[in-house]
Amino acid sequence: MAKEVRLPQLGQTMEEGTIVGLTVKLEDEVKKGDVIFEVETDKATLEVESPAEGFVKHILVEVGQTLPVGRPILVLGEKDEKVPQGFIDSLKSQAVAPAPAVAAPAVAKVPAEDASGLAEPAGATAKVKASPRAKKLAKDLGVDLAMVTGTGPAGKITEQDVKEAAAKLSEGMTAAQEPRLGATIRLNKPQKIIAQKMLQSKREIPCYYLNVGADVTELVELRAKINQTGDLKVSYNDFIIRAVATAVEKFPIMSGQLAGDAIKLADAINVGLAVAAPNGLIVPVVKDANKKDVKQIAAETQALVEKARNEKLQLSDLEDACITVSNLGGFGVESFIPIVIPGQCSILGIGRITDTCVPDGGKIAVRKLVSLTLSVDHKVANGAYAGQFLDFVRKQLEDTSAFDNC
């Protein structure tokens, strides 16, 4: 019996997706779990697996289409089954259909494009008239179809149009890794997403900023000791994530978001870690970080990085952070003011650890200090409350007894 496969809701906030690839064609046999199409959401590009087995009888979409959750994608049936045309027509006419009871599994294929939930404006691809092959070529070459003039029937963009646009683009710019003065460098999708959401943050989130210095001399020694005696290597970020999670547990309003005339607190303390990637930002999320010790957090962060490298991150790995940690110390940055990600109350910026001369009982001692800068949404938390939160984070990093059970 014929059965339609619909676009599943692959994340709590997903409302639509853009079909960026079809891995099957008419009359192909598919097994349950086979990858049948790729969809781009506001989180990542995902491979979607078939929820059932059968033969592909009809494909109802084209590459490049942006569709709402629940829209029919294709029809599966028995090998020699003739699917009634009326059934196909009814599927094609559906504007919005309910999502299937069992969502098809999906795996993130391009996690670097997630950029911690930073979403591209919906429907941009669907407005461009281009052949499926032209859309695929444009994606491969990094050409923005909105900037291409079509020479095909009714102004439709052809493959040749895309090739010519790519050639002109290459004349005006060098490779992204080696920009030169005077070049014009087009934004890739992650950069567009970041630009949109950071502008939204600056417009909608009235931030203030708090800064403290923490003496992490003992923490540096503790980390060195742990890494000398154990197989699992622990980073400074693992200690910071643990300290931040414990602080949110003590000051839960720091997990909140304004909802009408109330503040809705997060259901769990999930901490995001901003990571630089070749094509943009990615923010994997350590779930229930307040319930894990430093070594458990280290194991989880390393697993997330490994999944990212192998393109195995799932949407659940990238969702539901209530606060984010961003550490630029590895780049020699001593301090910076990070921008709050929409949907969160605050973000903590970490600078590099520096050897600093400080007074010590009438003498001068060299201690290892680090700058902590907290950006906070004033709609959610006031300065006194956030100040106590940041001071609690500082004290944990300075007093290594907080990590005795790590």
* Residues 242 and 293: beta-carbon distance below 8 Å: yes
Residue type, 161: D
Domain with CATH 3.30.559.10 in the chain: 207-403
Q: For 51-55, 304-308, 388-392, which range has the lowest pLDDT when averaged over its residues?
A: 304-308
Q: Tell me the CA distances in angstroms from 348 to 153, 241, 372, one per residue in order.
A: 53, 10, 7
pLDDT at 117: 33
User: Cα(324)–Cα(237) distance, rounded to whole angstroms?
Assistant: 11
Among candidate residues 280, 273, 278, the one with its CA nearest the CA of residue 298 = 273
Residue 247 CA neighbour count, 13 Å, CB half:
28
Mean of pLDDT values over 360-388? 96
**pLDDT one-digit tens code per residue, 181-209:** 888 887 766 677 788 889 999 999 999 99
Is the pLDDT at 126 greater than 70, yes or no? no
Is the pLDDT at 173 greater than 50, yes or no? no
**pLDDT one-digit tens code per residue, 228-280:** 987 889 999 999 999 999 999 999 999 999 999 999 999 999 999 998 765 56
Cβ partners under 8 Å of residue 352, min gap 6: 328, 329, 330, 331, 332, 333, 334, 370
What does the block give as tokens for 284? Answer: 């994997």
User: Cα(327)–Cα(351) distance, rounded to whole angstroms?
Assistant: 6
Model pTM? 0.66
Residue 114 pLDDT grade (very low, low, confident, very high; cuts 50, 70, 90): very low
CATH class of 207-403: alpha beta
pLDDT at 252: 97
The dihedral of CA 396, 398, 399, 401: what is its sign? positive
What does the block give as tokens for 343? Answer: 């949907």
Residue 87 pLDDT grade (very low, low, confident, very high; cuts 50, 70, 90): confident
Taking only Cα atoms into account, the Rg of the chain, rounded to an integer number of angstroms, comes to 25
Is the pLDDT at 108 greater than 60, yes or no? no
Among candidate residues 57, 48, 103, the one with its CA nearest the CA of residue 80 = 57
**pLDDT one-digit tens code per residue, 31-53:** 998 989 988 776 677 888 899 99
Q: Which residue in this structure is represented by tokens 């407005």?
A: 127
User: Cα(358)–Cα(365) distance, rounded to whole angstroms?
Assistant: 5
Superfamily of the domain at 119-192 = E3-binding domain (4.10.320.10)
Cβ partners under 8 Å of residue 361, min gap 6: none
Q: What is the mean pLDDT of the chain?
A: 83
Beta-bridge mates of residue 376: 208, 346
Domain with CATH 4.10.320.10 in the chain: 119-192
* Residues 306 and 138: beta-carbon distance below 8 Å: no
User: Cα(246)–Cα(401) distance, rounded to whole angstroms?
Assistant: 14
Is the pLDDT at 145 greater than 80, yes or no? no
Is the pLDDT at 149 greater than 90, yes or no? no
Among candidate residues 24, 85, 33, 86, the one with its CA nearest the CA of residue 56 = 24
Most confident listed range (109-118, 134-143, 161-170, 325-334): 325-334
**pLDDT one-digit tens code per residue, 366-375:** 999 999 999 9
pLDDT at 172: 42
Higher pLDDT, 18 or 298: 298
Q: For 21-30, 99-108, 341-350, 380-389, which range has the lowest pLDDT when averaged over its residues?
A: 99-108
Beta-bridge mates of residue 212: 372
**pLDDT one-digit tens code per residue, 249-260:** 999 999 999 999
- CB atoms < 10 A from the CB of 163, how many? 15
Q: Which long-range contacts (CB under 8 A, 24 or more apart) does 80-85 make?
A: 81/1, 81/2, 81/55, 81/57, 83/2, 83/57, 83/58
* Domain over 3-109 is classified CATH 2.102.10.10: no
Q: Helices H, strands E: what count in the chain?
A: 8, 20
Domain with CATH 2.40.50.100 in the chain: 3-109
